[in-house]
Amino acid sequence: MDFFEHQDKARRNTGLLILYFGLAVLCIFGALFTLASYFLSRDPYSEKIVWDMGMAVQIALGTGLLIGSGSLYKIATLNGGGKVVAESLGGNPLYPGTHDPKEKRLLNIVEEMAIASGTPVPPVYLMEENSINAFAAGHSPENAVIGVTRGCIDKLNRDQLQGVMAHEFSHILNGDMRMNIRLIGVLHGILLIAGLGFFLMRIAPFLGGGRRSRESGGLGIAMLVAGIVMLVIGYVGAFFGGLIKAAVSRQREFLADASAVQFTRNPQGISGALKKIGGLSEGSRIEAPKANECSHMFFGASVSSLFATHPKLEKRVRRIDPNWKGSFPDTNNLAEHPDTTEFVGASGFLGEIGKATKSKPKAGTGTARPRDAIRSAGNPTQAHMEHARKVISKTPSALLDQVREPFGARCVIFALLLDKVDKVVRDKQFALLLRQTERGSVEETETASSRLSDLSSEQKFALVEMAAPALAHLSPGQYAAFRNTVEHLVAADNRLDLFEWSLRKAIDHHLGRRFSQRRPPHGSASIRRLLPDCLLVLGTLARHGQDGMAPEPSFNEGASALTRSKALSLPSVEECGVAQLNEAVTRLERLTPLEKRSLLEACSRTIDFDGKATEVEVQVLRGVAAGISCPLPPVTAG
């Protein structure tokens, strides 16, 4: 499956989670009603249980209110996305400009993978745990974070660390994170009864003393009994919570392992990481108090449980390396970052994912045509990784240093928006920066501008992606001021060109949702309902990207992929302005995931009609993909 199919499946899985939740609540209600009827509604003469429907309604309302309010409260606390989860597990954000070689290596891997997959570069959080483990958390790729243990960066070499990160990026791309966060909220409500019972048991002994010892002692006993009953009933919820976690998590771990092999083309990396977990005394265990709550989110099993959230380690290794001998290395005594151990072929495992890679660009090509890039959405390959690495390596190191810290990152974004032709407009923009930004911003922006002159548009968009972790350190007020300055720089020449529009869409995509905490963007609208907006996008591509050729043939080629209607007309030049395009793309965000894929494929057919992709076409395609929140692997003009 590609990104769009995974997102569509994630939407359906939400319904399955609601069904599991409903069954768990129903069983808790049944247990409470049975106990209450046994002790409170027995006929005094026959000793038979009387099933009181009025009491059933009261218990049902009370159970629903307690569990529902608990779940809603937890979901509300997780509104901040992956950052909230990472901090609850004791994670601290890694500074993008760190000079620690191990931390820098990790951040470089994350940058390469984000650019290769077309997602915002996620902030990385480090947990001071000696075990080998990692997780991805967030509502969507735009507010995702990656958490990594200290043992992970200390014990794994680059290939193994890359395999673990590829596994986590699979969860980011496949919609697993959103389900994981919802699962935390749902299970919190179910387990709240057990927590309340435990609380009552703890306070019961303190109610047995004082002047009114007889009365308070009776109250203490009642509290103790109530606490024990609620604890028992609560663990009915815990039983179902374990079942839900196991049902949701296990198969997804196998799929994420498969995606990691496809992404890196190096089965040795992820299998080596799994083997090192097996040979480490701490394994993948997490000591943080919230580890059990988040156990289904980790790369490896973080806690021991009756209902395991992860397949057995041996089974995961054998899926990747069928000829594995069954022994784990002594990870405790290995030197740091040793060479990877000898690896025996994994043809069986690669055969499982062979179908998913048939349409992907071949390794070594480095770039992809628009249609290939869209087909690769959510399934990046090693070729995309190599190309991302090349894009980064060809970018001046001074620019990379700038974009990896908050002040410099803002100035690089400002520099991207400076007018390259009109000196009057440029001077106006510098005057604006002097008024609206802190001291030194003008000089830093001017320095960045001189370094940007020879960069391709692809490198410029990559810089925006790489700026995301540094700018995530801004406060909401600082981000609002930054966004206001961006708007004024764009408006300085009283016009908006397609590059500025695409860049602004990328900024909103990579940063805006992280600060606005908008919900995941996929909607339920169809192409038929929003066909005029789809045709306007295709018309913009046809009119602005065909290098002087007649726009009608390329427009018709793209439109034929959306509808069989013969009565389609190319939008006029006036209708294909940047403002109209922006309004159309904003509405198109409401499309379903599969309809978004159809739209992007129609765009690729319009672009590919003349056999080449121009810079303008690539910029518009990137802007549209960012505007409708779809990851786009590297695609270049030519």
Structure tokens belonging to residue 552: 């009608």
Amino acid letter for position 24:
A
Q: Report the C-alpha gap between 496 and 85 in whole angstroms.
A: 39
**Nearest alpha-carbon partner for 380 in 115, 75, 32, 50:** 115
Q: 483: burial class by Cβ within 10 Å (0-12, 13-18, 19+)?
A: middle
Active site residue 500: no
Q: Report the C-alpha gap between 631 and 638 in whole angstroms.
A: 21
**Nearest alpha-carbon partner for 486 in 459, 520, 515, 527:** 515
Q: Which of 168, 444, 458, 500 is catalytic?
A: 168
Q: Report the C-alpha gap between 124 and 107 in whole angstroms.
A: 7
Q: Report the C-alpha gap between 277 and 286 in whole angstroms.
A: 12
Assess contact for 124 and 111: CB atoms under 8 A. Answer: no
Assess contact for 294 and 89: CB atoms under 8 A. Answer: yes
Structure tokens belonging to residue 133: 């483990």
In the sheet that holds 145-149, the strands lie side by side as 92-93, 124-127, 145-149, 134-137
Q: Report the C-alpha gap between 618 and 158 in whole angstroms.
A: 32
Q: Report the C-alpha gap between 203 and 191 in whole angstroms.
A: 19
Amino acid letter for position 120:
P
Q: Please list, in sequence order, all residues whose beta carbon lies within 8 angstroms of the beta carbon of residue 387, skipping any fewer than 6 positions away.
A: 116, 366, 367, 634
Assess contact for 235 and 297: CB atoms under 8 A. Answer: no
Q: Report the C-alpha gap between 282 and 279 in whole angstroms.
A: 9
CA distance from start to end of the chain: 28
Q: Report the C-alpha gap between 336 and 101 in whole angstroms.
A: 13
Active-site residue set: 168
